[in-house]
Each structure stands twice: as C-alpha cells, then as structure tokens.
Amino acid sequence: MTKRYFGTDGIRDHVGSGVIRPDNVLKLGWATGKVLKAHGESKVLIGKDTRISGYMFESALEAGLISAGIDVFLLGPMPTPAVAYLTQTFHADAGIVISASHNPHYDNGIKFFGAKGQKLNDLVELEIEAAYDSEMQTVASEALGKARRIDDAAGRYIEFCKSTYFASEKLDGMHIVLDCANGATYHIAPHVFEELGAQVTVIGNQPDGLNINQGCGATDLSALKQTVIQHNADLGIAFDGDGDRVMMVDRFGRAVDGDLMLFVMADHYAAKYSGIVGTVMSNLGLENLLKEKGIPFKRAKVGDRHVLELLNQEGWLLGAEPSGHILCLDKQTTGDGIVSALQVLSVLKTTGTVLENYVDAYKPYPQILQNVKVSGDKSIEASEVLKAEIEAVESLLGTRGRTLIRASGTEPIIRVMVEGEDATLVQRCVDRLVKVVETEF
C-alpha cells in the first residue's frame, strides 16, 4: 500500500499545512497512541529541535497521546539520535521527534522511533495512517495517560556520546570549531568535545526559534570554514538542525562530506567493517578508494532508512549518505552527528594523522546536483521526453560518468545529479536535464 502522509523520514511540511497543523498533529498523536495501545504499548518519549513551532506541536502531540491512554515523557530540545538512544534507556515503547531536520524554521515535521531506537517500519506507519483517517475518540478519564518532564536527559546523552569515543588518547591539544546550526545540539555538543579534552570554539549555538539552519550548520559550511581559518583551528564540525547529520572541514576550510568520513572509518577498520553501504548519490571516487582497499561496497536508495535496511540485509555495520547521515551500527541505532564525528576523531588520534591528509588523498569525480522546484504530480518514469534525454546524456558520459534523477521524498522538487570525469561535460549534461525537467514538470 502507498503511504499518504509518511515520507522517507516521517511526516514533514510547512507549518500550518497538511498534517503539520496543531489540530492535525493532535490527531496524529492520538492515532499513534491508538496503534501503540493496540500493540500493548503505553510509554512514549517526545523530543524536539529549537524551531519556534516546536512548543505548539509538543503540546498537541502530548494531548493526543494522552487522550489515547499513553504516558508521555517530555525531553525538551534534544537531538534526534538522542531520542533514539533515550527511548531504549528509558524502556519506552516509542520515541517521537518534532523536527524538520535541515529545513528552515517555517517547516516542521514528526519523526518516530520504535522501542529499539530504530525508525518505524512501513507496516506500523500504515497502521498510524489508517487510525489518523478514522474518527478520534478519547479514552475514559480513568484510562488517560500522564505526562512528566525528564530533567537529566541532556546529561545522559552527553555521557553516552563520550562512551563511543574509542581512542586511548583524548582530544587534548586539538582545537575544534563546532557549528551547532542553532539547533538541537547547541547545549549538547560543546560539552561532549570539551569533556573529552578538546579546545572548543562554538558558533551556531544561539537559537531564537527562527535561525535554525540559517546560514549555518551542515547545509551551509561558509561560517564554519571562515571560523576555522580565523582561529587557526585543527578542524571544524557542523551538525544540522536536529543533529543526525554531520559535515566537517579541515584546517584549510576544505569540506569533508559523508563519503570521505565513511572512508576514514572504513580505511582504519577494514577488518571490522566487512562491507560498506553508500547510496546512489555516493561519489565514484569513494567507490574507487574502497575497491583499492578491497572493501566491498553496495549502494542503497537515498535515505538513511534505506541505508539501514541494506546494512541489516548484508549484516554490515557502517554506511552513510554524502549529506552526512552516517550509520555506525556498532555505536548507535540511527544516524548520529556527534557520535559519527567522534569516530573520525578517534581514527585521527589513534593513527596520529590529520584530517587534511585524507582530503589530499581523496579524488572525487566532479558531481553536480541541482534541485528543480516542480508543481505537477507527473512521475519521472512517465516522461518519455526525459527518458530520451537521460539516454542521450548517458551516451555522452559513457562509462566515465552517471546520472541520477529523482523526486524528493519531503519537498516538491526533482533532484538532478550528473557525475563524471570531465567537469565541463558534467555541467553541460546537468543544464540539459534541468531544462527538460523544468519543461516537463
């Protein structure tokens, strides 16, 4: 069955649109509670990022869940991976995060985790959708759920993050710049890295409800690059608004994406990681490096849930998206920006090397990704014109390049990606495909 409300990462929309309205979120909370009760479950944690609408939706979810007989534990501002971890440590039946991840403040969304800290499977999401489409009915007063706040959630998660750092030497002597995207890591990440011994300079740690992901964080590294160079720091680390993604820069301000961080970890622990999962967006440069090291590599569809599915299918532990969603399943059940960064730093400390050495060694193919806003609902596969243009472009690229055209699962855009050895040819191919997409959709 096709899901009506859930996308690739929960439910997301502009605030006040679709499900992401206070009345509809209240009903979503009730629908989720109804499904949980049917499965004999009764305890849910709720966390949120720092966007202003989070207060409104936290109250709505809380009321909806309580009306279905679910006990609610409120965590306040908390990274998405922290909710996944705390759901397990509190032996809750589910965890809910109010966040639109790397999107601007005017968007918001709802993400769900099961009792084991992994995202809900498709069948449960379909059950919630079916309940949402039914008439809302409040349980009897004596069966209503209760709510309370968890005061020590941040401290618990900070200690967990520190426990995943495996190098024998701490971060003493290392100067790190952190960009917290004015998001959910603002009161978590600085403590983690400082308590491990690093000298820390922090930016993007003054959330006001509106500045989340605004000119900062994992989706805009310009401020991080400038601050690293200005302070002569060893490297910089940027998280997105809800802390499940991470990007880095070396001392010269050169970007280190999920592909390269994946290689740093895989290169040092090749024997431990019997295979690596990337996505269809992963650069051919990464695939070539892993091949040279004799490390098996497979591609999943875009979305960390698809990376997780393929990792579980293969019995592997490490996978990532270029955007910085990194899954270290020997450490965490979901993408965790802080934990992933700590694994990279652990390798640097253990080997005595520096991040720029890996940047120098990495030779990614030129890759251009362009997002095209669309208004129609015509499927990509249904366009014969686009199909013919893709075939023409792939003929030009030959075996030295590839294309990927896909619709976003969370926004009304079509993503056009072309990769190849010749940067000029890649740009020409992108321009051709974008023109067709704009005409067709």
Tens-place pLDDT, residues 339-387: 999 999 999 999 999 999 999 988 899 999 999 998 866 678 888 899 9
Please say which residue of 151, 174, 193 terminates a domain: 151
**Whether residue 127 sits in one domain with residue 27:** yes
Question: How many domains are contained in the chain?
Answer: 3
- Residues contacting residue 203 through CB under 8 Å, at least 6 positions apart: 177, 178, 179, 180, 216, 223, 224, 227
Which of helix, strand or coil describes residue 419?
strand
> Residue 101 catalytic?
yes
**Whether residue 51 sits in one domain with residue 77:** yes
Q: What is the mean pLDDT of the chain?
A: 94
Q: What percent of the chain has pLDDT over 70?
A: 98
Tens-place pLDDT, residues 120-150: 888 999 999 999 999 999 999 999 999 999 9
Provide the CA 150 distance to its chain's centre, in angstroms: 24
- Residue 345 is assigned to a structural domain of this protein: yes
Which of 101, 282, 340, 346 is the catalytic position?
Answer: 101
Task: Round to whole Å and give the CA distance between 377 and 380.
Answer: 9
- Residue 354 is assigned to a structural domain of this protein: yes
- Residue 114 is assigned to a structural domain of this protein: yes
- Residue 68 is assigned to a structural domain of this protein: yes
**Whether residue 205 sits in one domain with residue 71:** no
Task: Please answer whether residues 354 and 174 qualify as being in contact, where contact means their C-beta atoms are separated by less than 8 angstroms.
Answer: no
Angstrom CA distances, 281 to 34, 129, 142, 212, 220, stand at 38, 30, 52, 26, 19
User: Whole-angstrom distance between the N-terminal and C-terminal Cα of the chain?
Assistant: 25
Q: Domain containing 285: what range? A: 156-361
Assign residue 425 the CATH number of its domain. Answer: 3.30.310.50
Please say which residue of 151, 186, 202 terminates a domain: 151
Provide the CA 429 distance to its chain's centre, in angstroms: 29
Task: Please answer whether residues 335 and 304 qualify as being in contact, where contact means their C-beta atoms are separated by less than 8 angstroms.
Answer: yes
Please say which residue of 361, 383, 416 terminates a domain: 361
Assign residue 294 the CATH number of its domain. Answer: 3.40.120.10
How many helices and strands, by DSSP H and E, does the chain display? 14, 18
- pTM for the full predicted model: 0.91
Closest listed residue to residue 390, CA positions, set 376, 373, 374, 402: 402
**Whether residue 355 sits in one domain with residue 377:** no
Task: Round to whole Å and give the CA distance between 348 and 109.
Answer: 36
